[in-house]
Amino acid sequence: MPLPSIQIETGSDPKFAVIWLHGLGADGHDFEPIVPELVDKSWPAIRFVFPNAPVRPITINGGMPMRAWYDISGMEIAQKQDEAGIRDSVRLLNELIEQEAARGIASENIFLAGFSQGGAIVLAAGVRCKHKLRGIIALSTYLPIAEKTDGEMSPANRDVPIFMAHGMLDPTVSHALGEMSREYLKQRHYKIDWHAYPMAHQVCAEEIVDLKRWLGSRLR
């Protein structure tokens, strides 16, 4: 049973979909307001799918239950990773891709997007996805379980375009960690469109403009 999601269609009978994963402690409503800012009226119809992550206890927050794609045990987020949680969320995201395919949107017309924890899941899932994707949008994030990537990369997405953006002043997911993930993927010949902004752990107007340009060029 796919995750419950907020869905917005920008027109009738959409042929493209964007599955967008929120960050830790947020929910599917978090990025709803970005749709009117991001979408150009000239674009073909798009279905935006904003799933709600499962609720789970988060170690770094004293075990408090909240919506999260995986557990975080300490400030060094790339250390002691919750591999089981990450893999479970990758599975949940694959279910959403298959749901869209069943509704008539081919995987090669699906973009995966995510912010922070959600971005980590779309990167982990995207490079492993057996269905060819249209693109990956990874905001203020990093590649989790990176050391497992080489043995698990899917041939279907070796040339998938990836938009990565990061705040240079990010105290939550360091800019350096984002850059390390970018370099790791570039060394494996992934096509990364990288953007950095003078911001913290957030999204800025300039980033939305850059993402709109990137997305628009891939909707033709």
Q: Is 201 a catalytic residue?
A: yes
Nearest-angstrom CA–CA distance, 21 and 24 = 10
Instruction: Report CA dihedral (206, 210, 215, 220) to the nearest 10 degrees.
Output: 130
DSSP 132: -
Distances (CA, A) of 167 to 174, 197, 203: 8, 5, 8
Asked if residue 203 lies in contact with residue 115, where contact means CB atoms within 8 angstroms, the answer is yes
Q: Is 12 a residue of the active site?
A: no
Whether 131 is a known active-site residue: answer no
CA distance 198 to 66: 29
Active-site residue identified among 89, 107, 116, 174: 116
| Both structure tokens of 63 | 């075990």
**Helices 83-102 and 117-128 meet at what angle, rounded to 10?**
70
Residue in the block written with tokens 């002691």 = 80
Burial class (CB in 10 A: 0-12, 13-18, 19+), 90: buried
CA dihedral 154, 136, 22, 185 (to 10 degrees): 70
Q: Name the catalytic one among 71, 166, 170, 181.
A: 170
Q: Quick one: which H or E segment has residue 191?
A: strand 191-197
Catalytic residues: 116, 170, 201
